A and B are shown apart, each in its own frame.
Chain A
Amino acid sequence: NAGVTQTPKFQVLKTGQSMTLQCAQDMNHNSMYWYRQDPGMGLRLIYYSASEGTTDKGEVPNGYNVSRLNKREFSLRLESAAPSQTSVYFCASSPRQVNGYTFGSGTRLTVV
């Protein structure tokens, strides 16, 4: 049982480049989330999808877009990467809020 799978694990981008972070879950969860984690800032919600076909902004959505491709997959796109987007990105999924989240292993992104 793979749980939540994120790709890639590491990425270095130049300022202005674009990329898509992929996330897939095999637990038939309805809700999926993208967080970023920075030192001293904790986990901050970028976007989330409460169910297939819906997406909503979180706390820090600027500079990002998302796509809930189907129930399994939720991708995060950086259209024009900036150094401020250097961070560790976590995808998570949940059947319902009361069950908590299951996280992927993260993507370490550096923008130079």
Chain B
Amino acid sequence: RKEVEQDPGPFNVPEGATVAFNCTYSNSASQSFFWYRQDCRKEPKLLMSVYSSGNEDGRFTAQLNRASQYISLLIRDSKLSDSATYLCVVGSNFGNEKLTFGTGTRLTIIP
């Protein structure tokens, strides 16, 4: 089983719609969780951290379910500029500075 698993997509969603991605992780001791965004032929960029209480940043909401070991990202009122690949990222242990990246979910917003 992969440490971090995501549905690769692609997700083709009309502009203005709401879209949700899920990601599962295998290590129950994981402590740090993130969503990154990667545009075509660009580097990954941090979109948001994911906290146990959940967090929201504008149109983006991230949730963490430790019991089921999954992380979600919700995008409301999607924009054309949201088209990108979204990477789920998990860090296992404090003191071990490595993060594990999912293979990403490709999202295309359709006008």
Contact = CB atoms under 8 A, between A and B. Distances in A.
Given A97-B97, A98-B32, A42 B91 contact: no
Contacts of B89: 100
Nearest to B6: A42
Contacts, number: 55
B97 A48 contact: yes
A105 B91 contact: no
Contacts of B94: 97-98
A101 B99 CA distance: 9
Contacts of A43: 44, 87, 101
A94 B87 CA distance: 17
B25 interface: no
Interface size class of B (residues with CB under 8 A): 20 to 34
Interface in B7-36: 31-32, 34, 36
Given A40-B103, A42-B104, A100 B98 contact: no
Nearest to B93: A97
A103 B46 CA distance: 9
A14 interface: no
Interface of B: 31-32, 34, 36, 42-46, 49, 87, 89, 91, 94, 96-99, 101-104
Given A97-B94, A101-B44, A103-B44, 11 more contacts: A40-B103, A41-B103, A42-B102, A42-B104, A90-B44, A97-B32, A97-B96, A98-B49, A98-B94, A100-B36, A103-B43
